[in-house]
Amino acid sequence: MKLDRFGEFIGRAAQKFEPYSAYRPTPLNLKSLVHFGKTAAASKSFAFLKKELPIRIASMLKEVRCLPGSFLRTDAVLEVAQMYDNVFETLLKYEKCSPNRPSVISEFTDDLQAIIQRNSDVVAHMAMGIKEMKERQGFSSDEEKWLDYFLDRFYISRIGIRTLMTQHTLLYGPVLRETESHVGCIDPECSPLRLAVTAYSYARLICSRVYGRSPGCNIHVLDCVSDRTRSTREFLISVDDSGQPSESCELFDQLPSCAGLRVHGRDVTFCYIPGHLFHALFELFKNAMRAVVERWVGESNLPELQMVICLAPEDLTIKVNNRVTSVRIVAGRILSIFQYI
């Protein structure tokens, strides 16, 4: 089916869209997902998702209909509409299926895996739609504010939907988890330090290839939780410009380059999705390194980045300072200082 308006359904999908969009998505957190993943059978996950996913998609598309029509009619955004229309219709075929049929659950899991793979380019398509609209007629200041607000909600909804799908496929499908300690895509003992070192390594590799050099980094880890139930290793390691660490450490195993890195503090862990945190850290390092290299053009020595990882009883804070600007992540969320346009 070819759409000419975002979120415009026909047939059975049109009849089901309004009822589903009237419901509110179920609020979930990582703790509940971990508990569910450890205790619930595949049939229970299927029974929940066959209702929850259409609700979330319908709610998301209902907001989309409020956007300016000129933006919704761009080719890239219409392609996104087609993607979610197909997802909605795929999920509707399981609406009345019994959770007690293993063959149905297996087919449902396969469909979710296919959806995850097919819809991996949604962010790029939305960016193309914004670019097309901006080049065609531009945006007023009010439209920019509304579009920023909408895209924040749209991408958060997308992350939630993909997390639920990925969690189900990893728990009950043929795809293997990265480690046995993971519960689906969630790591109850996620180490922000290890992810930060990995993100630094790959960001440094890219920066060096593009600019011919890159700044080093000091990572300080602070543990403000006094009642630790188990001991964790304390690091005091530096890596010289040739990439040689001051002592052998598994932090640097199989990484392309950790030259110029210094790590000080005790390794801490918290419950989080490693893939999400790595992506945020990788983007932070790339932006910070680029800012330093471009700010100190012609200087023989580049100032080092400063990163602080602080674990508190209620949250985890990560701060990166590059002597150009500073961005913080609080509880896994980048504070809103960016705009999409």
Domains of the chain: 11-172 (1.20.140.20), 187-334 (3.30.565.10)
What's the confidence (pLDDT) of residue 73?
78
Q: Which residues contact 47 (CB under 8 A, 6 or more apart)?
A: 99
Question: Residue 306's CB: how many other CB atoms inside 10 A?
Answer: 16
Of 135-139, 280-284, 302-306, the poorest mean pLDDT is in 135-139
CA distance 225 to 27: 27
Q: How confident is the model at residue 337 (pLDDT cuts 50, 70, 90)?
A: low
pLDDT tens digits, one per residue of 13-30? 667 888 999 999 999 999
pLDDT tens digits, one per residue of 123-175? 998 888 888 888 887 777 787 888 888 889 999 999 999 999 999 999 998 86
Is the model's pLDDT at 228 over the cut of 60?
no
Instruction: State the average pLDDT over residues 311-322.
Output: 92
Question: Residue 160's CB: how many other CB atoms inside 10 A?
Answer: 16
- Identify whether the C-beta of residue 109 lies closer than 8 Å to the C-beta of residue 172: yes
**Burial class, 96, CB count within 10 angstroms (exposed 0-12 / middle 13-18 / buried 19+):** exposed
Q: What angle do CA 140, 141, 143 make, to 5 degrees?
A: 65
Q: Read off the pTM.
A: 0.86
Of 68-77, 202-211, 298-307, the poorest mean pLDDT is in 68-77
Q: Across the chain, what does the average pLDDT equal?
A: 86
What's the confidence (pLDDT) of residue 6?
47
Instruction: State the average pLDDT over residues 42-48.
Output: 97
